[in-house]
Structure formats: C-alpha cells, structure tokens
Structure 1
Amino acid sequence: METPLETVALFSLKLAYETEDQSPILRDDLVMGDYNRDVFELLVRRGDVAGIQAKVAECVHLALTAVGGTAKPLGRELQKLAADFNDAQTLQQLDAPLRALKDYLKAIL
C-alpha cells in the first residue's frame, strides 16, 4: 500500500509544482520528504488511517488547486475520488479508492 500512497503524493506534487522549464519532480526530491514511502510505511504499520488520509489530503489539496479547484470538471472528479478515499475506515477500505485516485492523477498528469 505504501507505493500507491507515495505515487498519489508524487503525482499531486507534480501537478502543483512541476513546470515545463524545470527538471521533473522525482521520488527522492526534497519536496517529497513528508510524503515518501518510509513515512507512509510507518503510518500503515501503525494502522493510522486518519494519518494516511491527512497526508494524502494535503497533496490532493495542492493538486486540486493546480487543476482549478472544484469549479472545473477535473477538480470535481478529483474531489469526489478524494472524498471516497476519506470515507474509508480501515486500511483495507483504503485500497480501492486509493488506486482510483492514483489512476486519475496519472491520467490528468
């Protein structure tokens, strides 16, 4: 589960911060410090669903701003997928909405 979480963070940060005239954001960049696999691994090991959701929400908020907010179709869909992710109560329930969120961010990137 840690890898898809890190991927959602990476794609969100790419949407928010990456521009054509810069080097691409990579997993080992400083901007990924609070959202790397080790951070998510610790949260998963602890079973901290709320902590995972909070970390992902920070990233999704940045991505949502980057796509124009909920006034735009991309933003509305992103918000819907994020809400599905936030509705999960257990680690197992996070899996399907996490994958949908990851796939959507990849598609709009």
Structure 2
Amino acid sequence: MELHLETVALFSLKLAYESDGSSPILRDDLVMGGYQRDVFELLVRRGDVEAIQVKVDECVGLALEAIGGVDKPLGRELRRLAGEFSGIQTLAQLDAPLIALKSYLKDIQ
C-alpha cells in the first residue's frame, strides 16, 4: 500500500510541478519529502487513515489545479476518485480506491 500511496503523490506532483523541457520529478526529490514511502509506511503502521487521506488530498489538490480544476472533465473525474478515497474509514478499504486513483493519475500524465 505504501508504494501505491507514494506513487499517487509522485504522479500528482509531476502534474503540478513538471514542465516540458525540465528535469523530471523523481521519488527522491525534495518536493517528495513529506510523501515518500517511509512516511506513508509509518502512517499505515499507525493505522492513521485520516493522516493518509490528508497527505493524498494535498497532492491531489495540486494536481487538480494543474489540470484546470473541477470545471474540466479530467478534473471532475479526479475529484470523484479522490472523493471515493477520502470517504474510506479503514485501512482495509483503502486499496481499491487508491489503485483507481493511481491508475487515473498515471493515465493523465
């Protein structure tokens, strides 16, 4: 799960901060500091679903701005998927919405 969480953050931050002709954002870049696998691993071990959702929402919010907000079709779908992820109550329920969110972000790169 931690890898999926880190990947969602990475793809979101790529949408927000990468531009054509610039260096790509990598997992070890400073912008990923608070969203690396070990950070998510600690939150998963603690069972802190709310903190996980806050971190993911921060990244998705940046991606949402980068693609034009909820007024655009890509933004509406991203908001819908993020809403499903945010509505989850337990760690066991996070997998399917997380994978859907990750797949969507990968597709719109």
- The TM tier, using the shorter chain, reads over 0.9
Q: What secondary structure is seen at the aligned counterpart in 1 of 2:22? A: coil
Distance in 1 (CA, whole Å) between partners of 2:108 and 2:92 is 26
Which runs of no fewer than 5 residues in structure 2 stay unpaired?
Answer: none
Q: What secondary structure is seen at the aligned counterpart in 2 of 1:89? A: coil
Q: Deviations over 1:30-79 (max 9, x none)?
A: 00000000100000000000000000000000000000000000000000
Give the letter for the 1:89 counterpart: Q
Distance in 1 (CA, whole Å) between partners of 2:18 and 2:51 is 26
Q: Deviations over 1:71-109 (max 9, x none)?
A: 000000000000000010000111100000000000000
Corresponding residue pairs, total: 109
Which runs of no fewer than 5 residues in structure 1 stay unpaired?
Answer: none
Distance in 1 (CA, whole Å) between partners of 2:104 and 2:92 is 20
Identity %: 73
Give the CA deviation at 1:21.
1.7
Distance in 2 (CA, whole Å) between partners of 1:94 and 1:86 is 9
**Which residue of structure 2 aligns with residue 62 of structure 1?**
62
Q: What secondary structure is seen at the aligned counterpart in 1 of 2:94? A: helix
**Which residue of structure 2 aligns with residue 18 of structure 1?**
18
Tell me, yes or no, if structure 1 residue 72 matches structure 2 residue 72. Answer: yes
**Which residue of structure 1 aligns with residue 92 of structure 2?**
92
